[in-house]
Every structure is written in C-alpha cells, then in structure tokens.
Structure 1
Amino acid sequence: MFDSSDTAPRMQRSHGAAHVVMGPRGLIDLAQAGSAKAMLPRMTAGLPEIVFLNTSGGLASGDRLAFAVDLRAGTRALATTQTAERAYRATAAAAQARVTLTVGAGGWLDWLPQETILFDGARLDRETRIDLAPDAGCLLLEMLVLGRLAMGERPARLHLRDRRIVRRDGRVIHHDAFALDDATLPRLDGPALLGGAPALATLALIAPDAPDRLAATRAVLDEPGVTGAASAPPGRLVIRLLAANGWPLRRQVNRLLSVLRPDPLPRIWQV
C-alpha cells in the first residue's frame, strides 16, 4: 500500500565551492567541488580573467554556493560570472552564497559578476568579503533585478540579506548592506527607497586616487531610463544606479566601467 503520511519529501540541494589562486605568472591552484566551477579563458588583451559558473542553474532553498579568489602579491586580475545568477522561489531555508576575495601587496582585482535575478518568493543570504593588502585595490560591482521583468513579474514575497565588506590590512574600510523582506516590498515605490525601480546596481572603486574619478563618473551618468548618483569619501568612489529594467542598467554600467578601468569589458558579457 502507498504511504499516506503527509511528511514533506526531502528535497535535493545544491552545494558548490570554487577557489582560484593566482600569481603574477598565472594560475597557482584551482579547487572546485559540486555545482561551482571556475574557468580561466585565454586572453590576448586586458586583465587575466576568472569566470565562475554555478552549474545548478540557480539558487533554491538550502543551496550553498561559495566562490573565492586569492591574488598573490603583484597580481592583477578580473573575476566575473558566466551568466546571471537566479534565486528561485524558496519554500524553506534561504540559499547561502559566499564570495571571498583576497588581494596581496601591489595587487588589483575587478570583481564584476553579472546580475542576480530574484524570483517572487526567493530567499537569499549573500556575503562578499574582500581583504586588501595595504597598497592593493579593487573595483566591485553588484547588480540586482527584482523579478522576471520580461514576464511582468514583480515580487510580492522576498527575503534578501546582501552584504559587501572590504578590509584593508585587517581594518574595515567599506561596508555596504542591503536587505529586503515581505514587509519592505510594499514601500519600495517611496522616494527614500527604490522609487519603484526594480533594477539596481552599486559600483565601488577602492583605491587612494578613487575620488579623483568623481567628475568623470558624473559626466556619464546620463543613460536614458537610469537614475544614478556618485559620491567620493576618502579612498573610495561609490556609485548607485536605479533603472526600470536590466537592459538600460547594463548599458549605464558598461559606460561607467569604460571610465573607471582601462581594460576591455569581460568577454563573457553579452553587450
């Protein structure tokens, strides 16, 4: 006879971790497990690239995903993701995502992941930690899209805890936190929050001369359909963007990157 108990079935979960160590002459170590993969395409121009991939196709309840980059002294590189990450509707615990980035003396890292799309009912806890040597620097990007906009979806339920923490020589120099929940969503149209914009991005340039780029940055904050602002506290340049959908947001991000960095955009990006 069939078991008629109402015990909830145990769902399969995705776990993945990928860790790349690079030096000035190239790859030193690569470790990957589960759904997380890392690729190092051959480049003829620009910074060496690290491309992370989540082969599970997205994040659901209880999934765990970890990406890590360790750049040794004197190493410069770019790290990105193979495609947009998707956080699906969750029925239980939040998915956990961790990004750990370490940049050694005289090094530089561009962390330029593609956007994260939050489906209705998604639950995601994500933390990005960057440890910089005293004379190292980095450029950080985060893009979020609330709902599958091409389908007209706007989330009615959502849980997001997203933090980016940058330390230089062990001391916190940049802490950016963003949180959404079911109670917050009805108020997102207010001017103090997102003004109704379902797509948003933050760029942070961490370097002693970062404030010198403020004027050039503001000069290109004019993409139609995007609202943007830039500020320059000591040793940082922080840019925030709001848009009606992901396409004008990506165009504005691309224009900003052309001002903030001399190298080509990641080849994996579809532009």
Structure 2
Amino acid sequence: MSTSHVSHTLDKGWQASLALRFTHTPDKTLLYTAKHTGPLTVQRPFYPEGETCHLYLLHPPGGIVGGDRLDISVHLEANSHVLITMPGASKFYRSSGPRARLNQHFYIEEGATFEWLPQDTLFFPGSNAALRSVFHLHHASTLLAWELLCLGRPTIGETFSHGSIESRMEVWIDDEPVLIERQHLADGCLDPVAHHPWIGTLLFYPASEEHLETVRERLGPLDNFAGATLTDGLLSVRFLSHDNLICQRVMRDIWQSLRPLLTLKTACSPRIWQT
C-alpha cells in the first residue's frame, strides 16, 4: 500500500483516491493490491467465514466537505468473493459553494461475488454533493449491494432545507447498461421523495422470480413506500422511510434471506455492525 503527498486547501479540498484489487487463491480471496492517496484507506481483511474476504473501508475523518473529490475503484478478479462495509456513516457537510464529489466504480469479473454493504450516507443541510456508483458486472458474476441516503438529521428534527444532491447509480452487464438511475434534490424541495428523509436502494444479480417474491414478502414494514422490480436478471429494491431502524432491519433481513440463494452461503454479518 502506498501513500503520496496530497495537498488540501480551502479552495480545492481533499483530492483522494483508493484502488483495490482482489484475487482468488485455492484457500481464500486475497487483497492483492491497495493503493491510496489522501484520507481513504482500508483495515486489514477479516476471514470470519473461510475464504470470503471481509474488508472495512475508511472514509476521511470527520466527513466530506465542499471541494473534496474522492475516487474509489474496486476490482474483483475471477472467482473471488469480497464483502465490503464501513465502520460508520459517510457524511457530506454543508458547503459555502464548492461541490463535493464521491465516485465509486466496481468491476466484478466472471465467477466473482461482490457484496457492497456500506453504512448510510448522511447529507447535512447546505451540502453540495455529487455521488456516483457504477457496477460493471460479467454475466456470470454475482452482486449484492445496497445504498441508504439520509437527508438532513431527522433524529434531531433537521431536514434537508437547502443545498443540492446529485445521486447517480449504474449497473452494466457485459458492457451493456441495465440500470441508470438519477436523483436530483435542490433548494429544499423534497417532493421527489415525498418528504421522506431516508432513501434506500438494494441490488441483486443474478435474480429470478423466486428472489423477487422473497423480497416482496419482507417489504411490509415499509408500508406503501417500497417496491421491487426484476429486469434482465437484476433485482432492484427501492424504498422511502421516516425511520432509520426500520430501514436497517428490512435491508439486513432482505440481504440475509437472499445471500444463501445467490451465494450458497448463510449470512455472516460483519462484526462492526454490532458495535
């Protein structure tokens, strides 16, 4: 792992990057290379279930501010299996004008399994943020991923009263687009999300009608603000909520239910979730 000098000024912010590459061996999946600049890094891999590599990604201390640009690249070689999560929430703080950007690109080769299970992403009122997540899949790879966005700090009655958020999620299979989804929120207008502070998305591939029904059975606690669709083998789950505890419970319940069906492995929750 290498670290190069990174300048940080009030005008430019942090310019940080993290590039991870994993390879499969007869015994386990290894973190083959990890290169970073700036305040992005990972902890040492864990192996709580044998060959599957569990990894904790560390975002900048204190969060992301206006002018910051973070680029994350994760590459899984054939037949590797990686689960990545984070110790805590990602935070976009209010900005005086400059935009903060987080770009995440994931490459999953043939036979590889990737579980992207980050904690929630919190947007403070007044933040100016752009978040992009792109999954590049092989048709014979497996994906279990989620994203949970929080607008403001609802636990203290704070809404996303001003600021701007550009969120974009893409899924490509064999270089063909299967999902390209964009969300734009600005100037305190939360009509697009029916004024819910929590926005959730889950993705599973390859999925079937059986998986779709399994998910729909578990969306009840989210009332009428949740749905699931199946398109070209990609199962997409979307929901809105006012309650973070319900969000966490439903998301983990869905993941725990589908993981054995997609990976033939029972759910092994990262221990950091229990702290």
Q: How does 1:218-229 map to 2 (within 5 A)?
A: 218-223=216-221, 227-229=225-227
Contact 1:226–1:252 (CA under 8 A) maintained in structure 2 = no
Is 1:115 equivalent to 2:120 in the alignment?
yes
Distance in structure 1 (CA, Å) of the matches to 2:189 and 2:39: 35
- Aligned-residue offset at 1:126: 1.4
Deviations along 1:8-63, one digit per CA (max 9) or x if unpaired, are x9457223211111111312111122110112332222731122111332111100
Q: Which runs of 5+ in 1 are unaligned?
A: 1-8
Describe the shift of the 1:103–1:179 C-alpha distance in structure 2 as closer, same or farther (beyond 3 A). Answer: same
Unaligned runs of at least 5 residues, structure 2? 1-8, 261-266
1:222 partner amino acid: G
Shift of 1:233: 2.0
Aligned-residue CA RMSD (Å):
2.0
Corresponding residue number in structure 2 for 1:3: none
Distance 2:130 2:258 in 1: 29
Task: Output aligned runs, 1:164-175, within 5 Å.
Answer: 164-175=169-180
What letter corresponds to residue 41 of structure 1 in structure 2?
A: P
TM value normalised by structure 1: 0.87
Is the contact between residue 211 and residue 236 of structure 1 (CA under 8 Å) also seen in structure 2? no
Aligned partners of 2:174 and 2:228: how far apart in 1? 26
Counting aligned pairs with the same residue, the percent is: 24
- The residue that corresponds to 1:106 in the other structure is 111
| From 38, 41, 44, the counterpart of 1:40 | 44
Give the Cα–Cα distance (whole angstroms) in 1 for the partners of residues 190 and 225 of structure 2: 19
**Aligned twin of 1:202:** 201
Alignment of 1:230-241 (within 5 A): 230-241=228-239
- Whole-angstrom CA distance in 1 between matches of 2:12 and 2:274: 32
Paired amino acid for 2:44: L
2:14 corresponding residue in structure 1 = 14
1:129-208 to 2 correspondences below 5 Å = 129-182=134-187, 185-188=188-191, 193-207=192-206
- The letter of the residue matching 1:199 is W
CA deviations over 1:189-243 (Å, ceiling 9, x no partner): xxxx322211110111121x34330111111112267832112223111111111
Post-superposition offset of 1:186:
3.2
Structure 2 residue 243 is the aligned partner of structure 1 residue 248: no
Aligned equivalent of 2:59: 54
Partner Cα separation in structure 1 for residue 145 and residue 222 of structure 2: 23
Question: Matched residue of 1:186: which SS?
Answer: coil
How far does the alpha carbon of each residue in 1:62-83 deviate from its partner, in whole angstroms, 9 at most, with x for none? Answer: 0011222110011111122221
Residues 99 and 23 (structure 1), Cα distance of their counterparts in 2 relative to 1, 3 Å cut = same
d(CA) in 1 for partners of 2:216, 2:223? 16
Contact 1:114/1:143 (8 A) holds in 2: yes
The 1:187/1:77 distance shift into structure 2, 3 A limit, reads closer
Structure 1 letter corresponding to 2:24: P
Offset at residue 152 of structure 1 (A): 1.1
Q: CA deviation at 1:253?
A: 0.9
Residue correspondence of structure 1 range 53-72 to structure 2 within 5 A: 53-72=58-77
